[in-house]
Amino acid sequence: MGIIEQLESPNFKATKSDKLLINYIKNNIEDVFYKPISQIAKESNIGEATITRFSKKMGFNGLQDFKVTLAQEISSNSNKKNIINSNIENNESAIDTARKLLTSNVNTLENTVDIINSEDIHQCAKLIINAKKIYFVGIGYSGIIAQDSNYKFMRIGLNCVSFDSSHTMIMMASIMEKGDLLISISHSGETEEIIRTVELAKENQVDVIAITENKESVLKDVSDVHLAYVSGETVLETGSISSKLAQIFLIDLVYTQVVKEKFNEAIDRKVKTTDAIKVLKNI
């Protein structure tokens, strides 16, 4: 089993520190093998002794052995192109593929839960509850999540709308008002149209919630609240279910918190919208 595969599914019981280090390595996979242990420890906020123990858990004599092998694996993989999970073999059975995809998705959610800040979730719920109008925006696959999110919150009576057209979201951002809320979804956190939309909204004193992969990005820096998720997809794997699942999970977590805080009102409105749809079946 290669290092990259082990990072997705460790063959040992990973501690919280192990999971944080795994996440750090995955986010810095292209250059982590160039960094000395002191720099890795500083950037990941994990002790050098813990890093050394992790290397041994992975089956290596120490960090240097781990980094050399990782560099060789990265070099070998750079010559291969794949649009699906790199753990999947072309000649394996569908059920074997299903198990691997399940493991990958479960790992994504578990790693995402490990980095969630409870205060951020409460802050998002507060912003949503107090917003005059909520705008969900995203491009491509993230645009689909924006549409789904809008539908979810609309069903409990919140004043919201979604846009996945770059022209529309930028135009609407220019006329947003103080008291509105912009929820921007971008896997990379670097999508130019989303960044421009956020910049225009901020000029109008609009609060911004960003949902991105757990790494440094422009969108993270310009948002008021940043919700991060862990995703191991490569550039060619963009659009994999794991990243979309993580985005949906975070949205659902915030939605659940909103319902908890506005329980009676949310239930009443959800029942009304559900009953309204039922009427259509009898027409």
Q: Is residue 188 part of a domain?
A: yes
Helix (H, G, I), strand (E, B) or coil at 155: coil
pLDDT grade, residue 283 (50/70/90)?
Answer: low
Q: Is residue 168 located within the same domain as residue 219? A: yes
Using a pLDDT cut of 90, give the percent of the chain over it: 52
For the segment 169-221, what is each residue's pLDDT rounded down to a tens digit? 999 999 999 999 999 999 888 888 999 999 999 999 999 999 998 888 899 99
Give the domain range for residue 30: 1-80
Tell me, what amino acid is at 86?
Answer: S
Using a pLDDT cut of 70, give the percent of the chain over it: 90
Q: Is residue 129 located within the same domain as residue 182? A: yes
Q: Is residue 71 located within the same domain as residue 147? A: no
* Count of other CB atoms within 10 angstroms of residue 244: 18
What pLDDT does residue 100 have?
80
Structure letter (DSSP) for residue 134: E
Q: Is residue 54 located within the same domain as residue 145? A: no
Q: Is residue 58 located within the same domain as residue 154? A: no
* Number of helical H runs and strand E runs in the chain: 13, 5
Interval 222-236 mean pLDDT: 78
In 204-240, alpha helices (H): 218-222
Q: Is residue 113 part of a domain?
A: no
Q: Is residue 151 part of a domain?
A: yes
What pLDDT does residue 84 have?
53
d(CA 151, CA 252): 12
Number of domains in the chain: 2
Q: Are 26 and 7 in contact (CB under 8 A)?
A: yes
Q: Is residue 132 located within the same domain as residue 200? A: yes
CA-to-CA separations, 47 to 5, 20, 57, in angstroms, rounded = 24, 12, 15
pLDDT grade, residue 1 (50/70/90)?
Answer: low
Give phi and psi for 38, each to the nearest 5: -65, -40
pLDDT grade, residue 83 (50/70/90)?
Answer: very low
At a CB cut-off of 8 Å and minimum separation 6, what does 169 contact? 135, 137, 163, 193, 194, 197
Helix (H, G, I), strand (E, B) or coil at 16: helix
Q: Is residue 158 located within the same domain as residue 240? A: yes
